[in-house]
Amino acid sequence: MSQTRHVPVMLQRCLDLLAPALEATGSEAPVVVDCTLGLGGHSEALLAAFPRARLVALDRDKEALRLSGERLAPYGDRATLVHAVYDELPEVLERLGIPKVQGVLFDLGVSSMQLDEAGRGFAYAQDAPLDMRMDQSTGIAAAEVLNTYPPGELVRILRAYGEEKQAKRIVSAVVREREKEPFSNSARLVELIRDALPQAAKRTGGNPAKRTFQALRIEVNGELGVLERAVPAAVRSLAVGGRIAVLSYHSLEDRLVKQVLAAGAANTAPPGLPVVPERYQPRLKLLTRGAELPTEEEVAENRRAAPARLRGAERIREDER
């Protein structure tokens, strides 16, 4: 697996957002957490750009940890790589004896390695076993979801996680086909979706299987539930002056990130108070106006950057005890 294919998305903008927190000159080395290590592109850039910083990097995928471990080896003990899902951040920091951090980066979605390794079953463009687990040592694979979930639950998943308008039609076809023979590979599912969709639905939005694959991946990995816990936990882990940057790749992720950051940046005082007490003041300051998009040049060079949405915030106040 070549690492040259892996181009970190919106890399310079992420570094710029985090820089003021990681360049601060205190006696302690600033700590930055890469919650989604993947192949280590963002992590390597953080270590190179901020020579005083210590990196803690998390990934649930053991193969990603192995490959990025090789890549980050030159940085020695400045990099601590941990096998963990990113909602486990508080436990990881506690175990490492780190009370607060200066920077947190999330690059959500599927890593380049998982997409490029055919055997993982993430990509609808090549035939592979329907697995889609980011950590292949635990949990149920996508094939089991397709073969065992009740039809109503499958429809809910496709609608909620894939925003698939044709969910009922696709699920009817899945249920009919799985009774003949259980699903095991991605090509059969892609073909079924193509056949199930009306012509008009096939003309827009790229590969017709894209939304179904996204929905299955989110279900298999519990991605939205994990994210719902992880972003507030990451905000709580920030020291005052610390910064968070989050790259999302679909509207469900971005909406969730937006809600957490907006809530942190809101004044929570009851209306009509002449002076707002400290405890109601915002804890965060938003660093991006809405979600920032990659430049046209970046998308031309790296098509995987196209759906990216970047949001950032700075911690400006401690939580009330």
Binding residues for S-adenosyl-L-methionine: 40-42, 59, 86, 107, 114
H-only helix segments in 60-130: 62-72, 89-96, 112-116
Structure tokens at 84: 């963990």
Q: Is 141 left (phi over 0), alpha (psi -120 to 50) or beta?
A: beta
Instruction: Give the 3-state secondary structure of residue 81.
Output: strand
Q: Give yes or no for a contact between 83 and 62, defined as CB atoms under 8 angstroms apart.
A: yes
Query: What's the CA gap between 131 and 139, in Å, rounded?
Result: 10
Q: Per the annotation, where are the binding residues?
A: 40-42, 59, 86, 107, 114
Please report the DSSP string for 128-185 in residue order.
-BS---SSTTSS--HHHHHHHS-HHHHHHHHHHHH--TTHHHHHHHHHHHHHHS---B
Quickly count: other Cβ atoms within 10 Å of residue 251's Cβ: 13
